[in-house]
Chains A and B, each alone.
Chain A
């Protein structure tokens, strides 16, 4: 209930700031177009409700792209991060490689991904996977590297083999960090998604919807698309929060 109140309060503050911006921009800018770029919230929300049947396929398609990207990146980055972080020799060998490639913005690979995975969903999902994987890999590696020595000792002394050590100690100890990384990378995923959906326009995708609205100077529609994207991101955050509460009950029991 407190969580709901906090969300409603946050939403209220956001709407207030938005309304203030929409009310003050026309007075601040002489440019006629600049006065229109921030329409009032109720206008945008009404447009979103009216446009929803049109927005929906874009919303679902983008949501599925991010979901697949998240699942693929978890499947790749979590095992790799756990092993690289926990096995010292591997960490020494592979960390320089990670540090060299991490700062490179992954969106620059989009043209290559279009060649490798064609112009369909595959290349867009591959880009999102690439973007999210690095964030999750790095956080998982760090978490696995700092697993408490007494937990490892305790389970090793009870006769655990390597696989059991990963199952009972390394993975559960790293899980909160993995889920935090997944949450952080959702933001990056949406940035990549926007680019991937505007670069070579797909049939559906919120990026395409936004871009179309922008090219027609339809700022109210564009803002409606942005709100839809925010809503989609919010749903991912809620799902990851619920997942964390389910899988990391030991952190939340009062």
Chain B
């Protein structure tokens, strides 16, 4: 069991912008968000509303113009080993094999590379370790991305539309993987998505953002996440409908 405080994710009056001078674009303003340790939250909203920027601020890649983005009570000034980011295309390096990609975070941190092994086995990637990313299917690539993120045993998993480029069948399979991992590891999870069903399937809370400069339009509680037959339940479809009403 993880300490709840270690995985707590906070945005306090955070404003984010990119570009400089006249080209400066403010994507969100005075945003407040508090995600408890072990909670799974989905962020949804129109394109350009700063969802990705929020994740970048939380993993220390983007400095807020104002306010504080923090993880575990510590301001996110630089990338940390206990905060992992999963990108849309998994962010795999084409020149590294599955094994080298999965163990990259460990190599950068100077940790034993063997720690990547159980995650590769758990995600059924052990027979593919010598392959290069272009020799994998979209689903396999994303599973390598997950293995890489988990290798450093993070308490927070930030996911930036991780399944956007996958076909429907693979997407559901990886969503199941995300759900099972979250239930077992109890890490904090912040998922950015455009997919309503994905948000309802994985988010205990669904935060709806407005067009830029973004603010929070609504927060939909979704406590039944991970229940038996969740994807096929009436409650799931009712939640998707409720979310659609908020967005339209």
Contacts and interface: CB of A to CB of B under 8 A. Distances in A.
Interface of A: 150-151, 153-160, 164, 168-169, 172-173, 175, 248-250, 253
A160 B148 CA distance: 14
Given A150-B89, A168-B93, A172-B93, 4 more contacts: A151-B93, A157-B91, A168-B104, A253-B135
Nearest to B78: A159
Nearest to B133: A250
B87 A154 contact: yes
B92 A154 contact: yes
A169 B88 CA distance: 18
Interface residues of B, number: 27
A169 B93 contact: yes
A164 B94 CA distance: 16
A250 B61 contact: no
Given A150-B87, A164-B108, A168-B104, A155 B93 contact: yes
Contact of B79 (A158, A168, A249): A158
**Interchain residue pairs A-B with the least CB separation, the first 6:** A154-B91, A157-B85, A172-B95, A158-B105, A159-B79, A250-B132
A150 B79 CA distance: 15
A157 B148 CA distance: 12
Contacts of B79: 156-160
Interface string B95-139: 110000000110011000000000000000000000011110000
B92 A156 contact: no
Contacts of A160: 79, 108
Nearest to A253: B132
A154 B108 CA distance: 12
B77 interface: no
Contacts of A155: 91, 93, 104, 108
A154 B104 CA distance: 10
B134 A158 contact: no
Nearest to B79: A159
A156 B78 CA distance: 9
Contacts of B89: 150
A248 B134 CA distance: 13
Nearest to A252: B132
A248 B193 CA distance: 35
A110 to B, nearest CB: 39
A19 to B, nearest CB: 44
Nearest to A154: B91
6 contacts: A157-B85, A157-B91, A158-B85, A159-B78, A159-B105, A168-B93
A76 to B, nearest CB: 24
A159 B105 CA distance: 7
B80 interface: yes
Contacts of B6: none
Contacts of A154: 85, 87, 91-93
B84 to A, nearest CB: 8
A179 to B, nearest CB: 13
Interface string B2-45: 00000000000000000000000000000000000000000000
B91 A159 contact: no
Nearest to A157: B85
Nearest to A169: B93
A144 B87 CA distance: 22
A253 B109 CA distance: 29
Nearest to A152: B91
A150 B95 contact: no
A168 B108 CA distance: 10
A156 B61 contact: yes
A156 to B, nearest CB: 6
Contacts of A253: 132, 134-135
A150 B141 CA distance: 14
A175 B84 CA distance: 28
B61 A153 contact: yes
A150 B94 CA distance: 12
Interface in B115-174: 132-135, 148, 152
